[in-house]
Amino acid sequence: MVFVFTAALIQQVHIEKSGQPIKLASIIIHLKNNLKTMKNKSIKLSLMIPYLSVILLATACKKDDLSAENNSVATASTSSETLALDAPTATTTTTTSSTTSSTTRYEAENYASMSGVGLDACSEGGKNVGSIQAGDWMKYTVNAPAAGSYKLNFRVAGPGGQFQVRNAAGTVLATVTAPKTTSYQTYTTVSVNANLASGSQTIQLYAATGGYNINWFEVVGGTTSTSGTGSATAPTTPTAPTTPTAPTGSTGALGSTTIGSNTLFRETFEGTSPWSGFGQEWYTSYAFTTATTPALQGSKVGRFELRDTDPNYRSEVRFPSSYNGKDRWVSFSVYWPSSGMKDDSKPELFHQAHQTSQTSPPVSLIVKNGHIWAEVNGQVFSGALGSGTSKTMDIGAVPKDQWVRFVIHYKFSYNTDGAWQIWKNGSQVLNYAGKTIYPPAITSNLPTFKLGIYKWVWSGTATSDATLRVMYVDDVRVGNENSSLSTM
Q: What's at 299, amino acid-wise?
A: S
Q: What letter represents residue 245's amino acid?
A: T
Omega into 247 within 30° of 0, i.e. cis? no
Containing 56, the helix (H) or strand (E) segment is helix 45-58
In CATH, the architecture of 251-487 is Sandwich (2.60)
- DSSP for 386-418, please give it: T----EEEEEEE--BTSEEEEEEEEE--SSTT-
In contact, 364 and 372? CB cutoff 8 Å:
no
What pLDDT is attached to residue 30? 52
Match domain 100-223 to its CATH number in 1.10.760.10, 2.40.160.60, 1.20.120.80, 2.60.120.260: 2.60.120.260
Residues spanned by CATH 2.60.120.260 within the chain? 100-223
Confidence (pLDDT) at 367: 97
The whole-number pLDDT of residue 254 equals: 84
Measured torsion, CA atoms of residues 397, 401, 404, 408, in degrees rounded to the nearest 10: 60
Q: Quick one: DSSP state of residue 182?
A: S
| 323 within 8 A of 447, measured Cβ to Cβ | no
Burial grade of 342 (CB within 10 A; 0-12, 13-18, 19 or more):
middle
Contact of 142 with 173, CB cutoff 8 Å: no
Quote the pLDDT of residue 2.
43
Phi, psi for 474 (deg, rounded to 5):
-155, 155
Rounded Cα gap, residues 479 and 375, in angstroms: 22
User: What's the pLDDT at 102?
Assistant: 83
Positions of E strands within 182-275: 188-196, 199-207, 213-231, 263-267
461 burial level (CB within 10 Å; 0-12, 13-18, 19+)? exposed
Rounded to 5 degrees, φ, ψ at 27 are -65, -45
For residue 197, give the nearest of 228, 219, 226 by alpha carbon.
219
Of the chain, the end-to-end C-alpha distance in Å amounts to: 85
CA nearest neighbour of 5 among 26, 35, 25, 29 = 35
Q: Say if residues 205 and 155 touch (Cβ distance below 8 Å).
A: no
Distance between CA atoms of residues 313 and 453, nearest Å: 8
CA nearest neighbour of 443 among 377, 395, 399:
377
> What are the C-alpha distances in Å from 243 to residues 182, 240, 246?
49, 9, 9
Alpha-carbon distance of 410 to 262, in angstroms, equals: 15
pLDDT tens, N- to C-terminus, the chain (488 residues): 444 444 444 444 443 444 444 444 454 455 455 544 444 444 444 444 454 454 444 444 444 443 433 443 333 333 333 333 333 334 444 433 334 568 999 999 999 888 888 888 899 999 999 889 888 899 999 999 999 999 999 999 998 999 999 999 999 999 999 999 999 999 999 999 999 999 999 999 999 888 899 999 999 986 444 444 443 333 333 333 333 333 333 347 888 887 878 999 999 999 999 999 999 999 999 999 999 999 998 999 999 999 999 999 999 999 999 999 999 999 999 999 999 999 999 999 999 999 998 899 999 999 999 999 999 999 999 999 989 999 999 999 999 999 999 999 999 999 999 999 999 999 999 999 999 999 999 999 999 999 999 999 998 777 899 999 999 999 999 999 999 999 99
What is the spatial distance between Cα 79 and Cα 212, in angstroms, rounded to a whole number? 95
Q: H-helix or E-strand containing 167?
A: strand 161-167
Full-model pTM: 0.53
Domain with CATH 2.60.120.200 in the chain: 251-487
- Residue 256: the pLDDT is 80
DSSP state of 146: S
CA neighbor of 172 nearest in space, from 144, 199, 137:
137
Residues contacting 89, CB < 8 A, separation 6+: 233
Upper half-sphere CA count for residue 59 (Cβ side, 13 Å):
6
b/e per residue, 47-85, with b = 16+ CB within 10 A? ebebbeebeebbeebeeeeeeebeebeeebeeeeeeeee
